[in-house]
Amino acid sequence: MAAEPVNVDEFRELARQALPKMYYDFFHGGAEDQYTLRENEEAFHRITIQPRVLLDVSSIDLSTTVLGYDISMPVMIAPTSRHKLANPAGEIATARAASACNTIMVLSLSSTCTLEEVTACCDAVRFFQLYVYKRRDITAKLVQRAESNGYKAIVLTGDSPRHGRREADIKNKIIIPELKNVEGLLTTKFVNGGGSNLDSLANSTRDPSFSWEDIGWLKSITKLPILIKGILTREDAIKAVEVGAAGIIVSNHGARQLDYCPATISVLEEVVHAVGGKVPVFLDGGVRRGTDIFKALALGAQAVLVGRPVMYGLAAKGESGVRRVLEMLKNELELTMALAGCSSVKDISRSHVRTKHDRQL
């Protein structure tokens, strides 16, 4: 392999070489048989792009707006936990890269730098990802800290009432340090039944009874817009709009929760139709190429988020690696748009892609 990676997959390989196996498996792996993990990428491969030719593509505008914030491209950083396991600078390096690329970073609640440290290090627009704890007082405090530290939205993850079964972590007996944002606040019942401590950390602290009816409580404690992450069906998309979500993230948690749930790109259009333009729809899961981003936009996403690609960049080359990954995706999208005849993201339409549901001509 060339010393300088030329695509996201080569960054993945560099990350594999750079990291202890236990940490690479943690970042890379999915749940159980990893069917959905493979599908997240392969479902993109089954969609073709229908280019238009002889159009003026002398200048390409990739900029877009998310919840009113202008960003340089329709690609944001998905919330992923524990960046210090990839690089000692942790989320600070990631946030600085987001800043340099003028895009939005969603900080995971389970970060290894505090939300205050991330605020202090960069001027990127930041959203804060939330799991709701059994201790509602701690959850409320976290939301208030996010708000007073200038985070612009709460991303409520809905797909994790319990921790997914990631067998590599169990086999590696991975032990994860206490979460920085709630250090000393949560008592976790740590049962290391021969496996990783991730299960006990998550399952003894998060509230599995939190449901649609409780979103009103969340709205009552913050003025921030709430995005709901983890939607995969038309029914839940409609509910999310009804409870006042400011946006929806079509996501299966990077295939780390429920195995055999569908690839996100395969259900995007169903969700977009159900939402009917009332709120923006975003997608994450399996985005590895500019062509993937183009396909998601053609099927109705306003922007995508990337999780593992960012972690691979961070593990391979720190802040500059994250920057490089984001730039690569941006450059690939720009070229895809030029070759498909789209000079701005608004030009990308449903007729630019063909899925297996479309009539073959």
Q: Are 162 and 97 in contact (CB under 8 A)?
A: no
In contact, 86 and 112? CB cutoff 8 Å? no
Residues making up the binding site: 108, 129, 131, 157, 166, 229, 251, 253, 256, 284-288, 307-308
247 part of the interface to ligand FNR, by CB under 6 A: no
* Least distance to ligand FNR, CB of residue 361, Å: 32
CB of 53 to ligand FNR, least distance (A): 31
Q: Any contact of residue 286 with ligand FNR (CB under 6 A)?
A: yes
> How many chain residues bind ligand FNR (CB under 6 A)?
23
Q: Rounded distance, CA 319 to CA 55, Å?
A: 37
SS3 246: coil
Using the CB atoms, write b or e for 145-173: b if 16+ within 10 Å: bbbebebbbbbbbbbbbebbebbbbeebe
Count of helix runs (H) and strand runs (E) in the chain: 13, 12
Q: Does 317 bind ligand FNR (CB under 6 A)?
A: no
Restricting to residues 138-167, which ones interact with ligand FNR according to CB under 6 A? 157
240: three-class secondary structure by DSSP: helix
Phi, psi (rounded to 5 degrees) for 194: 85, -5
Compare residues 325 and 342 and give the one whose CB is closer to ligand FNR: 325
Q: Which one of 28, 83, 253, 352 is the catalytic residue?
A: 253
Where residue 259 falls (left for φ over 0; alpha for ψ -120 to 50; beta otherwise) is: beta
Q: Tokens 């000079």 belong to which residue?
A: 343
The least distance separating ligand FNR from the CB of residue 54, rounded to whole angstroms, comes to 35
Is residue 27 near ligand FNR by the rule CB under 6 A? yes
| Token pair of 339 as six digits | 């070759």
Among 108, 119, 196, 197, contact with ligand FNR (rule: CB under 6 A)? 108
CB-wise, 236 or 284, nearer to ligand FNR?
A: 284
CB of 293 to ligand FNR, least distance (A): 11
Q: Nearest distance from residue 354's CB to ligand FNR, in Å? A: 23
Q: Which is nearer to ligand FNR, 227 or 342 (CB)?
A: 227
Cβ neighbours for 45, distance < 8 A, ≥ 6 positions apart = none
Q: Give me the residues that bind ligand FNR (CB under 6 A), please.
A: 27, 40, 78-81, 108, 110, 129, 157, 229, 251, 253-254, 256, 284-287, 306-308, 311
Give the catalytic positions in this structure: 253
